[in-house]
Structure 1
Amino acid sequence: MTETDVIVVGAGPTGLMLACELALAGVRCRLLERRAEQPNITRAFAVHARTLELLDARGLADDLLAKGVPVDSVAPAPGATLDLRRLATRYPMVLIVPQSGTEHLLEERARELGVQIVRGAEVVGLRQDDGRVIVDLADGSTETASYVVGCDGAHSKVRGLVGIDFAGKQYATHILLADVRATEPPSDALFAKASGEGVVLMIPFGDGWFRAIAWDRLREQVPLDVPLPMEEMRDAFVRIAGTDFGMREQRWSTRFLSERRQAERYRAGRVFLAGDSAHVHSPLGGQGMNTGIGDAMNLGWKLAAVVRGRAPESLLGSYERERHRVGAQVLTLTDAFNRLVLGRSAIRRAFRTLTLRLALRFGRSRTFLAGRLTGLGIRYPAASRRAHPWTGRRMPDLRCVDGRVYELLRDGRHLLVDAGAKGGAARGDVKVARYTGPAVPGMPAVVLVRPDGYVAWAGDDIPMTYQVSDESPFTLSLP
């Protein structure tokens, strides 16, 4: 029997990110993956601005940028374009990069941090008591930990073993996916075309390969187990977009049935769910991997603080309170995109498209949609009505004396940003940084930033002793 602090099941982006967070905080972590080898296919391909900020907070964003293709505008519907260059972020883009590239980067970091990655480890049983979780593997061995996190995908074994319902529905339309080479690639970095026949997308991986995606009304009910030849994908593109972009070599293809589901709960005792184990949705909008990495960053520092005895166990309740709400918002967004693009009524599709075009003409609605799409608009509810308005919001990447905020977060500690120049100090697992300007409207004198880049507490002075509910279990003090 092998014992550790936390077992993470599933070595996709969510599981790898979570393992990195735990190891960074000094938590013993084992990562169990059913697959014996890494696959040579990729499913997710969009990395949004907020995810890039989170990766920047761990020193990984620049390495990922080198692997991808930046896109500075997106069109949720024909004639409705969002200019991402207007975003108030270091990363005003959506980065197109294969999921495999993100996984390789995260796995390399996980190994550097000492994470034990066990491949070919299939979970078949799980039981828990007040102090531990015992995991049974298909080879007859067992693993024991204080906590287990299921990051094992839409068909999560962990979720099934703890009896959490996965409520939702399947979409009727089958999606065609293929990785192809194109001799006449589109000029747009992110090509999309819709017609009465369906919708097609062509996404570059930056290495000569493209992800071809088609929602083809003519072929939407072909059984999922029927092979997808390149000729069928070519035909869909020609009918919908007027060209197949000179498709030739095809290295992978599949038919995919999209779902809209969310776990009823993200926790059962000492077992948690994150990523696709907790929520799946339409691929329109490219939200899946981004939401999973957000889950991992949120849960990681909290679980580490509890395991190391630096926070009460009640802190873990905030993971579900914060991230279940975000997951529901993502499902609402992607479902709206799905109805906008793939709705069966041409009149309704036209009306929704017109409504979206009009909404994007106004700054407030444009900012709202951009915030939802990129993740920059995510904020968590404050524990108290008396909390400062900045509490729970994404922390901007301000310049401090010793560097940018997100550079200063790279060791995974809380960061106290002092803009009041009052000479405050901090103790415990908190780093202090002096902000020197320029002035930010509404910025409080003192901001306590969580390891995941959200504001835990804000005010106009550092209290003699202060504990921010369960969100920041650290005591601050004046010298």
Structure 2
Amino acid sequence: MDTVDVLVVGAGPTGCMLAGEVALAGRSVVVLDKHEAPSPLSRAFGVHARTMEALDTRGLADELRSTGTASPGLALWRGAEVNLTRLPSPFPYLLVTPQVNVDTLLEKRARNHGADVVRGATVTKLWQHEDGVVVRATTASGEREWKASYVVGADGVRSTVRDLVGQPFPGEVLLKSIVLADAYLGDPPASIVTVDAAEDCFAFLAPFGDGWFRVIVWDRRFEDDPAFQPSEAMVRDVLTRATGTDFGLREIRWLSRFQSDERQVESYRTGRVFLAGDAAHVHSPAGGQGMNTGIQDALNLGWKLAAVLRGADPAVLDTYQSERHPVGKLVLRSSGATIRLMTARSRAARAFRRVVLPFLLGREKVARKAAGMFSGVGISYGRGLVGSRAADVQLRDGRLFEALRRGGFVLVLENDAASVTAPIPTAHRLDGGPALLVRPDGYLAWAGSSASGDWRAALDRWTK
């Protein structure tokens, strides 16, 4: 039996992000995935601003940025718009890039930091003990077992780990016949994500670049047809009915149908086993938040696992549930409301979509809140400054996001404050404001006067 600090099931973006975090902290981690090779398919298509910030704190944002197209916002229903260019972020856009690029980048990073990614390994059993978890998997070389201090199920909607720990996945089926396509458009819309709907269908377009778009369409007529198979003609028809044009569709290189569910487990933790990403929550594709939420789950949990393995209070791990479960619930609620508006039957709902929503999004406060919610920039783990996302403040010798690349806490001192002796990196900010203790995931653990020394108690809370 092999022994490891953390065993992750699922080598998608959530699993590899988490493995990279654990390995960055110097802990051993194994990732098991049932597929023999990475999937070339790309269900997800967009990386939001908060996820780009997280990737920047690990030195990955520039490389990913080079693979996609920056969309400045979302055009909704021929008049409503969510403008992302005013986001208080170094990444005021939605990066449209196939998920395979994110997968490749995060798996490479996990391996480079020492994670062992084992492919062709199908998990069959799991036992929890007081001091660890035993996982059995079928591999090409036969049955293998690992004993881990902690296990993370990042194995998707049909999570084996979730089933093995007996976690229900309550919720409902939203839509049964959503169609995904990668299409070349000869007369494309501007480089902005476009959403529109008619009485019985909707269409969604996001630009990959060079004329290629991720297209998502749905037609009510096929919703309860078990024999329905998507086709280029169907995509063209729905585009025309929903938006008024087929945008000169010339070619489709990939076409798929999927069912959209809305579900969330009640507890992200069962003893020493945690669930993250689609294994913990799944929702409609409206807003493109699925992959982003999973990556941010992983960023939240990864450093906490490493801290507890180094000797921090195990109660630190309970904050994963208290911080991330509400976020998952918010994403279900917002994406669910969006998809229900897109598929509304009643005249009143369609009138709201056509008239009232553009008016509301034209108001700065509403527009700012909508942009913050979809992008993740508005997510906070507290009601005040502590628990909020740290901005990329300018330091005397660089940026905060660069200082976070070691994966640990950072103490940011006031510009005129005396230097302090600390067990973590410290830096002076250039502008005014209080001193900040920033967590490895880029959220504030404390703010105040560095001279008070209160940051030490805040640091101890997370590390001892």
For Structure 1 versus Structure 2, the TM-score category normalised by the shorter chain is over 0.9
| Corresponding residue number in structure 1 for 2:21 | 21
| Corresponding residue number in structure 2 for 1:295 | 297
The 2-side partners of 1:135 and 1:377 are apart by: 38
| Corresponding residue number in structure 1 for 2:439 | 450
The 2-side partners of 1:338 and 1:108 are apart by: 34
* 1:328 Cα deviation after fit: 0.6
The residue identity in structure 1 corresponding to 2:426 is V
The 1-side partners of 2:7 and 2:427 are apart by: 34
| Corresponding residue number in structure 2 for 1:400 | 395
Q: 1:36 to 1:462 in 2, by over 3 A?
A: farther
* 1:180 Cα deviation after fit: 2.6
| Corresponding residue number in structure 2 for 1:385 | none
SS at match of 2:127: strand
Pick which of 259-268 and 163-172 moved more. 163-172
Q: 1:352 to 1:212 in 2, by over 3 A?
A: closer
| Corresponding residue number in structure 1 for 2:319 | 318
Aligned length: 460
Cα deviations by residue, 1:204-238 (Å, 9 ceiling, x for unpaired): 22255322210112322232x64322222222223
Pick which of 74-83 and 319-328 moved more. 74-83
The 2-side partners of 1:363 and 1:184 are apart by: 32
Q: 2:188 aligns with which of 174, 185, 188?
A: 185
Structure 1 unpaired stretches of 5+: 383-388, 475-479
| Corresponding residue number in structure 1 for 2:242 | 240
The 2-side partners of 1:287 and 1:301 are apart by: 22
The residue identity in structure 2 corresponding to 1:216 is D
The residue identity in structure 2 corresponding to 1:347 is A
Cα deviations by residue, 1:223-272 (Å, 9 ceiling, x for unpaired): 2x643222222222233333333434433222211111111100000000
| Corresponding residue number in structure 1 for 2:284 | 282
SS at match of 1:85: coil
The residue identity in structure 1 corresponding to 2:342 is V
* 1:136 Cα deviation after fit: 1.1
1:153 aligns with 2:156: yes
Q: 1:167 to 1:209 in 2, by over 3 A?
A: same
Q: 2:385 aligns with which of 390, 395, 405?
A: 390
| Corresponding residue number in structure 2 for 1:386 | none
Q: 1:240 to 1:62 in 2, by over 3 A?
A: same
| C-alpha contact (below 8 Å) 2:205/2:213 kept by paired residues | yes
SS at match of 1:166: coil
| Corresponding residue number in structure 2 for 1:101 | 101
| C-alpha contact (below 8 Å) 1:340/1:353 kept by paired residues | no
Pick which of 354-363 and 171-180 moved more. 354-363
The residue identity in structure 2 corresponding to 1:467 is A
The 2-side partners of 1:364 and 1:186 are apart by: 27
| Corresponding residue number in structure 1 for 2:124 | 124
1:436 aligns with 2:437: no
| C-alpha contact (below 8 Å) 1:127/1:134 kept by paired residues | yes
| Corresponding residue number in structure 2 for 1:256 | 258
The percent of aligned pairs where both chains have the same amino acid is 46
1:361 aligns with 2:366: no
* 1:39 Cα deviation after fit: 1.7
* 1:173 Cα deviation after fit: 5.0
* 1:353 Cα deviation after fit: 4.7
SS at match of 1:252: strand
| C-alpha contact (below 8 Å) 2:381/2:387 kept by paired residues | yes
* 1:82 Cα deviation after fit: 1.9
The 2-side partners of 1:44 and 1:190 are apart by: 14
SS at match of 2:367: helix
* 1:73 Cα deviation after fit: 1.8
The residue identity in structure 2 corresponding to 1:432 is T
The 2-side partners of 1:470 and 1:195 are apart by: 56
The residue identity in structure 1 corresponding to 2:55 is L
| Corresponding residue number in structure 1 for 2:230 | 228
Pick which of 56-65 and 347-356 moved more. 347-356
Q: 1:462 to 1:137 in 2, by over 3 A?
A: farther
Q: 1:399 to 1:41 in 2, by over 3 A?
A: same
The residue identity in structure 2 corresponding to 1:255 is R
Pick which of 336-345 and 277-286 moved more. 336-345
| C-alpha contact (below 8 Å) 2:72/2:85 kept by paired residues | yes
| C-alpha contact (below 8 Å) 2:390/2:444 kept by paired residues | yes
TM-score, L = length of structure 2 = 0.94
* 1:371 Cα deviation after fit: 1.2
TM-score, L = length of structure 1 = 0.92
Q: 1:368 to 1:105 in 2, by over 3 A?
A: same
Could you say what the CA RMSD is over the residues aligned between the two structures, in angstroms? 1.9
Q: 1:101 to 1:470 in 2, by over 3 A?
A: same
The 1-side partners of 2:318 and 2:335 are apart by: 26
The residue identity in structure 1 corresponding to 2:444 is V
* 1:108 Cα deviation after fit: 1.5
The 1-side partners of 2:240 and 2:334 are apart by: 29
* 1:25 Cα deviation after fit: 0.5
Q: 1:218 to 1:471 in 2, by over 3 A?
A: farther
| C-alpha contact (below 8 Å) 2:70/2:95 kept by paired residues | yes
SS at match of 1:3: strand
| C-alpha contact (below 8 Å) 2:199/2:343 kept by paired residues | no
SS at match of 2:254: strand
Following superposition of structure 1 onto structure 2, how do residues 47-62 of structure 1 map, counting pairs within 5 Å? 47-62=47-62
Cα deviations by residue, 1:160-184 (Å, 9 ceiling, x for unpaired): 1101111111114521112233333
The 1-side partners of 2:275 and 2:284 are apart by: 19
The residue identity in structure 1 corresponding to 2:349 is R
| C-alpha contact (below 8 Å) 2:344/2:350 kept by paired residues | yes
| C-alpha contact (below 8 Å) 1:197/1:239 kept by paired residues | no
